[in-house]
Amino acid sequence: MFSAAGKAPGRLLGTVLGVIVTVAVVLAVAAGPASAAPSGPSDTDLAQAQAAADAAAAALMRAQQQMAAARAAVDSARAAAAIALDDYQAKQAAFQAAQGAASAAQAAADQAAVDLQAAQDQLLAFVRRSYMAGSTSPGIASLLTAEGPAQLLERAALLEAAGVHRSEEVEAYTAARQRADAAEAATQEALRQADALHQQATAALAVAQTAEHAARDQAAAAATQQVQLQAQADDARAQLSRLLGEKQAADRATQEEAAAAAADGDRQSSRPPAQDHTEAGPGSASAAQTALAAAQAYRGTSYSWGGGGAGGPSPGIDLDAGVVGFDCSGLTQYAYFRAGILISRNGRAQYAALPKVARADLRPGDLVFWATDPSDPNTIHHVALYLGGNQVIQAPESGDVIKISTMWWTGYAGAVRPSA
């Protein structure tokens, strides 16, 4: 994709150079010997020179457009990988919660089993006392004739259910057995749910890893292409300078760059955020400042794909397994945890759960989000902390570090206030 696209400016520049050489020869011949009568360039000469300048300008614009398209493709691939990572983090969080629920259910089942054993022991002791006392109760007699503990407990349950015999021991055993059965069923269901979520998290991780590998491969290819296209753009600028002079060439290059930028802006134009009104209260300024200070303390720390969280920086996953740092939502979770506020680990959950803030009401400490489709929160792929003064602190992408950046609005999806 990239190599094929990169050949067109080269062919065009070859044509431009040919035209330029032709024009130069024509102008040299037209000039003649120094003793000849002075004469200006003909209309044909001027037309050829103008055509050469136009061709060089077109080559410049083509190279710039292709560079912009390559950058856009990389940005799109990175956004897709970030969304896939967010999917995985959400599934992993759900799995961890399910694990906690399963552990609690198992503890309850263990306690119910202990209670059941105690009830069984009490029932057996009751039967022995009844035997020693020579009880003539039909119900007790049926218990006394049981061939073993298992049959005794089964008969006790049947008697309780039929209402034939009632005693505290039988009732306690029956209730304990019901609790134990319910607890065991709850444990099995919790384990089943945890296992299903684990499988979903594993599948989501595989998707995210594939997307991240593809994004990095595309970024590497685009970097190589950018070098080639930049060389072509530089050549085109040099040709314009030779043909038009530096001042006119600079003006013409500026026009072409502006046109390319405008086309790129049109391509990247985005719909407004799905929600741009303020529902959050003023929040805690001190908590916001604590969060910002916590984030700024890690300026210069490596971005780590899947790394970091409430506990601080940590190794990432897959390609960043050896990189200790934060990804974007790991940084925001850590910052607010230091301020005593626990927020979700993944970006979309942070946006969904926290009170919204309109763009016009942004305050330092608010979290700001970007999406491939700003009108759809499900496409959020990046989050940062707003510093104020049109600046953010963010963990941008692999290969970069936590840093302060100028706020950008393309793809802006909205903001929340964790301290509200």
pLDDT tens per residue, range 91-143: 999 999 999 999 999 999 999 999 989 987 887 777 666 656 555 455 555 55
pLDDT value at position 317? 96
The H-or-E segment that residue 418 falls in is none
Do residues 413 and 371 make contact, with C-beta atoms less than 8 angstroms apart?
A: yes
Burial (Cβ within 10 Å: 0-12, 13-18, ≥19) of residue 140: buried
- Measure the CA–CA gap between 116 and 351, rounded to whole angstroms: 47
Instruction: Count the alpha carbons within 13 Å of 224 in the hemisphere toward its beta carbon.
Output: 10
Count of other CB atoms within 10 angstroms of residue 367: 26
> What are the C-alpha distances in Å from 117 to residues 15, 173, 177, 278, 358?
93, 9, 9, 58, 60
DSSP state of 278: -
- pLDDT for 417: 98
Contact 19, 50 (CB under 8 A): no
As a dihedral over the C-alpha atoms of residue 68, residue 69, residue 75, residue 77, rounded to 10 degrees, the angle is -160
CB atoms within 10 A of CB 339: 21
Q: Report yes or no: 134 and 198 within 8 Å, Cβ to Cβ.
A: no
Q: Which of 218-227, 334-343, 386-395 has the lowest mean pLDDT?
A: 218-227
* Percent over 70 (pLDDT), the chain: 75
pTM of the model: 0.71
